[in-house]
Each structure stands twice: as C-alpha cells, then as structure tokens.
C-alpha cells in the first residue's frame, strides 16, 4: 500500500472515530437532558464538524485540494452510515432518513474549512477554527435542549375502491382475522424492517369496545372504539406503550408512542358507490415532536402511506374474494 493511501485511511479513520464518539456521547444516559441523537446538534451540526475535520486533516497530512474539501467529507460520512448498518447500530429506516441531510452537511463543513485553510494557508491558520468545529455539537446540544420540542399533529388519509357491499367491508374492518405474509403487498418499509400487520381483535362491538391490534415482532397497539356505525364508520383511539413494544421491533428513535413520534387515532369510513362498489377511507392522526418536523413529517407520511395502503389492499382482496 502506498504512503498516500495510508495517509488517506488514517485521516478517514480519525474522522470516523470522532463521529463514533459523538454518537456514543449523545446517546449515553449521563448526557440525557443535555444531548440527544434526534436533534439539530447531532443530525445537522455533527456532520458539519466531521466534514471540517476531514478537510483539515487532509490539508495538513496530505495535500490541499478539492478532494479533501469536497469529496472526502461526504465519503467519510457515507462510510460511517454504512458501518452503522453493518454493525446494527442504527436501523435501516434511520439511515435512509438521515442520509439526505448528513451528506450535504458534511460537504458543507469540508467546503467551509477549505475556504478557511486557503485564506490563512500562509499563517498556519485553521487550528482555532478546527477546535471550534469539534466542540460545536457539544455547545449547541445543551442550548437546544433548553427549549421544549415543538409538537405537531398530521392527518394521513388513504382510500381504495372495493367491489363489495358495505356490510362485507364492515365485517373485515371491525375485526381483522390473522393476516398471512402472502396477503401483504410488498412495500419498501417492510424491506427496511418495519413490522407487518398481523390481526386486530375486538372484545365487544360498540363504542367503548377495545381492539387489540398486533404486528410482527410482538408489537401491540390498544385501541378504544369512539364511533361505531355499522357498515358506515368505525373510529378509535390508539395507545402504544413504548415500554411494552420490544426495542427490537423499532429503532429507539422512531418508536411509536415515544418522545418523537406517536399515532393518536384511526378512522375507517365506508362510502357506497354505484355498481355495487364502495370506497373505503382510512384516516389516522400522528404526533411529531422534533426540531425539524417539516422534514420528519415528510418521512412519517411516506411510511404511513405505505402501511395504511397495504392494510387497505388486504381488506380489498379479502372482501372481493368473499363477494
């Protein structure tokens, strides 16, 4: 291996160690309340710091150039993301959500540090600025945690046409018998590890009845019926207990009912159409509590659109088979 390749690996390795240390410090119990993984400090600022570190080391240990300022920072960040998947530190969905953010911000950090080093290259500059970059996530994190997470609710709506009567559809939504894997359509979220729906059992019909919805991985949701209108409308609240849901079922940062995300209620509506068909509506309300709800909300809607869409397809296929 050539000396330059050794220098490149050394630089990437040092930067990777910084990223890993940040991940550890932001997640350990003693820093809870001061630092958080789902935060601007970690998801936005840490990549900037890492990108600046890669550029700084590249300029000092190798040679100044666009490779270290523009290419190496996002490349190093991408290698860290791949490693977090490989060693199961992060769930695939979290890596997918983070990638469009952390790669550009790592590039931004490298670009800024490149400008700094080019400007003060004759004065040995960059050391003070680099120290500032390294400390920046740990300064912003505690400041950020002083403000309460903003809460936002979003409504997700899906619909599907079914060639069956309202009564047939009602029998498939009031209580959902066990769903086999073969019945569930292929969706990206299930390939990424999200639990597939299994069944929904109702203890008694009518308002106040309790539905027990189960998913793969021993995931359970407890639902209380708030509207019961046979063949027309079914509504219920949804309660997810994050202490009960196995940690292996969801990533800790996106667990339903947790600090950052929750599903609050659901509603089925049956709309009769001409020709013996009906349109089945499925609506749910979600709570987002992050400092970047606009971005997180887009992903939550993408996920829920696939989950609700797959449930509606299962109901349609069952109803039309029986019809």
Residues 6+ apart with CB under 8 A from 136: 45, 48, 49
Quick one: pLDDT at residue 123? 53
Concatenate the DSSP letters of all residues of 168-234 into one string.
HHHHHHSSBPPPPGGGSPP-HHHHTTPPPEEEEEESSSSTT-EEEEEETTTEEEEEEEEEEETTTEE
Residue 127 has pLDDT above 80, yes or no: yes
State mean pLDDT over 8-33.
Answer: 95
- Dist. CA 129–CA 131, nearest whole Å: 5
Q: Can you tell me the mean pLDDT for 297-309? A: 92
| Residue 122 reports pLDDT greater than 60 | no
Q: What is the pLDDT of residue 141?
A: 96
Is the pLDDT reported for residue 169 higher than 90?
yes
224-230 contacts, C-beta under 8 A, 24 or more apart: 226/265, 227/267, 230/167, 230/170, 230/174
Q: Residue 30: phi, psi to the nearest 5?
A: -60, -25
Tokens of 253: 């940062």
- Per-chain mean pLDDT for the chain: 91
Q: Is the pLDDT of residue 124 over 70?
A: no
Q: Check residue 249 and give its pLDDT.
A: 44
Q: At 112, is the pLDDT very low, low, confident or very high (cuts 50, 70, 90)?
A: very high
Instruction: Please tell me which residue, 322 or 222, carries the higher pLDDT value.
Output: 222
Say what the pLDDT of residue 240 is: 76
> What is the model's pLDDT at position 251?
55
Mean pLDDT highest for which of 28-32, 167-171, 249-253?
A: 167-171
User: pLDDT digit string (tens) for 35-90?
Assistant: 999 999 999 999 999 999 999 999 999 999 999 999 999 999 999 999 999 998 88
Spatial separation of the C-alpha atoms in residues 299 and 23, rounded to whole Å: 22
Structural contact between residues 102 and 47, judged by C-beta atoms closer than 8 angstroms: yes
More confident position, 245 or 198: 198
CATH number given to 152-322? 3.30.530.20
Residue 159 clears pLDDT 60, i.e. is over it: yes
| pLDDT at residue 115 in the model | 94
Give residue 245's pLDDT.
54
What tokens does 29 get? 């119990």
Q: Which two tokens stand for residue 49?
A: 């710091």
Distance CA 197, CA 219 (A): 9
Token pair of 300, please?
A: 């939550």
pLDDT at residue 195 greater than cutoff 50: yes
Largest CA-CA distance found in the chain, in angstroms, rounded? 81
Q: Where are the domains of the chain?
A: 3-144, 152-322
Whether 191 has a pLDDT exceeding 90, the answer reads no
Give residue-wise pLDDT tens across range 311-323: 999 999 999 987 6
């Amino acid at each position: 291996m050539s000396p330059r390749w050794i220098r490149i690996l050394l630089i990437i390795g040092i930067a990777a160690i910084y990223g890993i240390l940040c991940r550890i410090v932001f997640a350990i119990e003693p820093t809870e309340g001061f630092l958080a993984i789902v935060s601007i400090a970690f998801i936005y600022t840490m990549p900037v710091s890492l990108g600046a570190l890669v550029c700084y080391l590249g300029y000092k240990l190798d040679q100044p150039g666009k490779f270290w300022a523009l290419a190496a920072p996002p490349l190093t960040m991408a290698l860290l993301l791949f490693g977090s998947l490989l060693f199961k530190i992060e769930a695939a969905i979290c890596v997918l959500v983070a990638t469009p953010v952390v790669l550009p911000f790592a590039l931004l950090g490298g670009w800024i540090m490149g400008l700094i080093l080019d400007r003060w290259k004759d004065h040995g500059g960059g050391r003070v600025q680099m120290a500032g970059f390294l400390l920046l996530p740990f300064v912003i994190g505690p400041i950020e945690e002083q403000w309460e997470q903003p809460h936002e609710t979003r409504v997700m709506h899906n619909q599907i046409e079914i060639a069956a009567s309202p009564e047939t559809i009602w029998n498939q939504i009031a209580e959902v018998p066990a769903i086999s894997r073969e019945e569930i359509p292929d969706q990206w979220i299930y390939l990424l590890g999200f639990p597939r729906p299994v069944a929904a059992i109702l203890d008694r019909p009518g308002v106040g009845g309790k539905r027990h919805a189960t998913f793969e991985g021993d995931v359970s949701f407890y639902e209380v019926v708030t509207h019961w209108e046979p063949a027309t409308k079914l509504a219920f609240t949804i309660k997810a207990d994050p202490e009960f849901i196995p940690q292996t079922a969801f990533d800790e940062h996106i667990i339903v009912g947790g600090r950052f995300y929750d599903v609050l209620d659901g509603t089925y509506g049956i709309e009769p159409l001409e020709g013996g068909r009906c349109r089945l509506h499925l609506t749910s309300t979600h709570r987002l509590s992050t400092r970047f709800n606009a971005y997180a909300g887009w992903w939550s809607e993408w996920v829920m659109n696939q989950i609700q869409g797959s449930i509606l397809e299962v109901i349609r296929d069952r109803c039309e088979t029986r019809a």
